[in-house]
Amino acid sequence: MKRVITLFTIAFLFAGLAVFQYKTDGKESVTLAAPSADFKPKAGFAATAFKLPDLDEKSYEIGGPQGKLTFVNFWASWCGPCELEAPDLQRLHEEYGNTMQLYGVNATKYDKERAARDFVVEHEFTFPILMDRAGDVTKQYKVDTFPTTFLIDAEGVIRERINGVITYEEWQRLIEKWM
């Protein structure tokens, strides 16, 4: 009988914790612009604006006219191809950081935040890493493969959607093409 009461108590505590987390996991971590009815996250369509916090909770707004090329890479720490691509992203940031905005968007809803932070430290990223904790931006941009990268021109139009990993030289070619 004591065992049943103990198990019931533990189950009750976990249920309470789940409800608490659900209630406190508000939408303040992400702000999405209402996408137009014809928004498609692919080349030729205007990028829907969104705002996400970085690892230090500083907020960044992406999408719409930014005045220069924007590189947005969706990734997860458990993703093998993301691990393969990581050194190239840092190198691209070092080479083009003055003429292009580069952001990493961690699909935190499908990842562990601690693992994502460790990944950033391990790869010595110096560009902003944004945390999509609710998964809304990942869903809106229809990202179901990691990594997925968007090149958005200075006017806010998606010019490239790349699913998977490409070579550093191919990145250079695409960046030069859209600058």
H-run or E-run covering 152: strand 148-152
pLDDT tens column, 130-178 = 999 999 999 999 999 999 999 999 999 999 999 999 999 999 999 999 9
The string of pLDDT tens digits covering residues 50-105 is 999 999 999 999 988 889 999 999 999 999 999 999 999 999 999 999 999 999 99
Q: How many CA atoms lie less than 13 Å away from 92 in the CB half-sphere?
A: 28
DSSP-derived letter for residue 67 is S
Hey, what domains does the chain have and what are their CATH numbers?
28-178 (3.40.30.10)
- Residue with the bigger pLDDT between 8 and 83: it is 83
Kindly tell me if the per-residue pLDDT of 118 is higher than 90: yes
**Helix, strand and coil in the chain, % to nearest 5:** 40, 25, 35
Name which of 104, 82, 117 is nearest 150 in CA terms. 104
pLDDT of 24 reads: 46
Mean pLDDT of all residues in 113-132? 98
Confidence of residue 5 (pLDDT cuts 50, 70, 90): low
Q: Are 53 and 128 in contact (CB under 8 A)?
A: no
pLDDT of 131: 98
Q: Residue 127 has what pLDDT? A: 98
Q: What is the DSSP letter of 112?
A: -
What's the pLDDT band for 9 if we cut at 50, 70, 90? low
Q: Which of 89, 158, 88 is nearest to 129 (CA)?
A: 89
**H helix intervals, 40-167:** 80-96, 113-123, 136-140
Q: Residue 18: what pLDDT?
A: 45
> Is the confidence at residue 27, as pLDDT, over 90?
no
pLDDT of residue 63: 84
Q: pTM of the prediction?
A: 0.79
Residue 124 vs residue 7, higher pLDDT: 124
Quickly state the pLDDT bin for 42 (edges 50, 70, 90).
Answer: confident
What integer pLDDT is reported at residue 33 of this predicted model?
A: 44
What pLDDT was estimated at residue 32?
47
